[in-house]
């Protein structure tokens, strides 16, 4: 029987009864898009599961998946944060090395690419100059490319050897919301598909990963029950006028996405450092620090990072999973325990960071309906 604990928690959450009907009653486009991610994730997961099942049933593996022995993951801004977050899961599932590169910088380099390398190009719109130039460079060297995009009729989707689609719509708000989380899901599903087709993933592992991905949308919805806590954190950042974000392992990339959300929505200066580097960063005493941590992301070291940063007088807020929250009791000023286990927890962190940035912008009176 599948684990339905998150489903049960969702229906029991305070305020659940207003969630389904709120889509038309949000004050801003950004807040509506944050709330809409559960549906987009369900659509993305269903679309990709159907694609993987068809490949396995027909025993027909597309060339980019059959020939791969190394992945080159390319993206920009939020897309780059998504690939950096998903990298370790892809490596574990596919048993392949993964290079994570910023598309704009990679296209100007002349680094050698070994036979069997496959590019994974991530772009919400699929029309960016850098991402299309990177695609052309790959193909000029005779290497295939996989496009991860919500724009299924874009130049990127049409030119890549394999389209790995997401269901994110064109965002009208001021930062990446559904485009980030659906990309994260598509990347993990890609790693799982490669692992299955290469015979590297057993049924137990595949089932566990599939359950965590199924829980992702529920974890997003449950995180909205902590909106008041996220709002208080956001208001603190707004009052301070600056913030630092940090984390270890995949949480470092999630922290980078949180800083990007904050800059996009509120224009508050926000810096990102890995957890150990944050101990030595030139942070002004009293500046709020938001740290991302999780049980599978070096939590013991993250506790030491938080304790060291707090000791110099900074206000430390930790976003972590429920099982790890107690470890930060004496290390942080505030701990926000979020739902989800493993991969599902990453989606909860993404929504919490979006809500923090949203409420920081609202506290400053920013217009969040502008189109960027």
Interval 162-175: pLDDT, tens: 999 999 887 777 78
- Are 193 and 257 members of one domain? no
- Are 195 and 46 members of one domain? yes
**DSSP letter assigned to residue 139:** H
- Are 196 and 242 members of one domain? no
- Are 258 and 345 members of one domain? yes
211: helix, strand or coil: helix
Closest CA to 198 of 101, 274, 116, 136: 116
110 falls in which pLDDT band (50, 70, 90)? low
What CATH number has the domain bearing residue 231?
3.40.50.10490
Q: What is the mean pLDDT of residues 101-125?
A: 88
- Token reading at 92: 């574990």
Mean pLDDT of the chain: 88
Does 141 have pLDDT greater than 60?
yes
- Are 44 and 178 members of one domain? yes
Which residue, 201, 236, 264, sits at the end of a domain?
201
> What's the CA gap between 155 and 170, in Å, rounded?
16
Question: Does the residue 230 lie in any domain?
Answer: yes
Burial of 296 (0-12, 13-18, 19+ CB in 10 A): middle
Q: What is the mean pLDDT of residues 53-66?
A: 79
Weakest mean pLDDT among 22-36, 79-93, 289-303? 22-36
- Are 188 and 307 members of one domain? no
- Are 273 and 318 members of one domain? yes
If one counts the domains in the chain, the total is 2
**335 φ, ψ (degrees, to nearest 5):** -125, 130
Domain that holds residue 264: 226-363
Q: C-alpha angle 273/333/78, rounded to 5°?
A: 35
Residue the block writes with tokens 């990177």: 134
Query: What is the value of pTM for the model shown?
Result: 0.90
- Are 271 and 189 members of one domain? no
Weakest mean pLDDT among 39-43, 118-122, 278-282, 348-352? 278-282
- Are 52 and 188 members of one domain? yes
- Are 195 and 319 members of one domain? no
324 falls in which pLDDT band (50, 70, 90)? very high
- Are 138 and 51 members of one domain? yes
Does 11 have pLDDT greater than 70?
no
Question: pLDDT value at position 277?
Answer: 83
Give the percent of the chain with pLDDT over 90.
68
Question: Does the residue 112 lie in any domain?
Answer: yes
The model's pLDDT over 251-305, given as tens digits with 9 standing for 90+, comes to: 999 999 999 999 999 999 999 988 778 888 777 878 899 999 998 878 889 999 9
């Amino acid at each position: 029987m599948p684990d339905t604990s998150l489903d049960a928690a969702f229906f029991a959450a305070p305020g659940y009864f207003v969630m389904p009907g709120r889509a038309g009653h949000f004050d801003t486009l950004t807040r509506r898009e944050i709330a809409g991610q559960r549906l987009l994730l369900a659509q993305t997961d269903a679309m990709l599961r159907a694609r993987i099942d068809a490949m396995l049933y027909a025993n027909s593996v597309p060339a980019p998946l059959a020939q791969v022995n190394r992945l080159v993951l390319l993206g920009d801004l939020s897309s780059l944060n998504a690939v950096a977050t998903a990298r370790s899961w892809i490596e574990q599932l596919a048993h392949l090395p993964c290079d994570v590169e910023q598309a704009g910088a990679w296209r100007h380099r002349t680094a050698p690419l070994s036979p069997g390398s496959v590019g994974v190009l991530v772009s919400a719109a699929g029309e960016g100059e850098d991402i299309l130039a990177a695609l052309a460079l790959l193909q000029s060297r005779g290497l295939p490319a996989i496009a991860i995009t919500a724009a299924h009729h874009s130049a990127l989707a049409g030119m890549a050897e394999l389209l790995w689609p997401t269901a994110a719509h064109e965002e009208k708000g001021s930062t990446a919301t559904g485009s980030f989380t659906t990309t994260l899901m598509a990347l993990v599903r890609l790693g799982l598909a490669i692992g299955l087709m290469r015979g590297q993933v057993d049924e137990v592992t595949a089932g566990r990963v599939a359950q965590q991905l199924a829980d992702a949308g529920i974890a997003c919805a449950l995180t909205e029950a902590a909106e008041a806590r996220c709002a208080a954190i956001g208001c603190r950042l707004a009052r301070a006028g600056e913030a630092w974000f940090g984390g270890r392992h995949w949480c470092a990339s999630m922290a980078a996405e949180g800083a990007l959300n904050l800059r996009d929505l509120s224009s508050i200066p926000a810096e990102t450092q890995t957890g150990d580097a944050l101990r030595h960063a030139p942070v002004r005493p009293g500046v709020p620090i938001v740290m991302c941590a999780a049980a599978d992301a070096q939590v013991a070291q993250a506790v030491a990072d938080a304790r060291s940063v707090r000791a110099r007088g900074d206000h430390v807020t930790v976003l972590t999973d429920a099982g790890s929250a107690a470890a930060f009791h004496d290390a942080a000023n505030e701990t926000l325990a979020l739902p989800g286990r493993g991969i599902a927890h990453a989606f909860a962190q993404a929504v919490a960071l979006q809500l923090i940035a949203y409420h920081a912008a609202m506290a400053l009176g920013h217009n969040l309906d502008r189109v960027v």
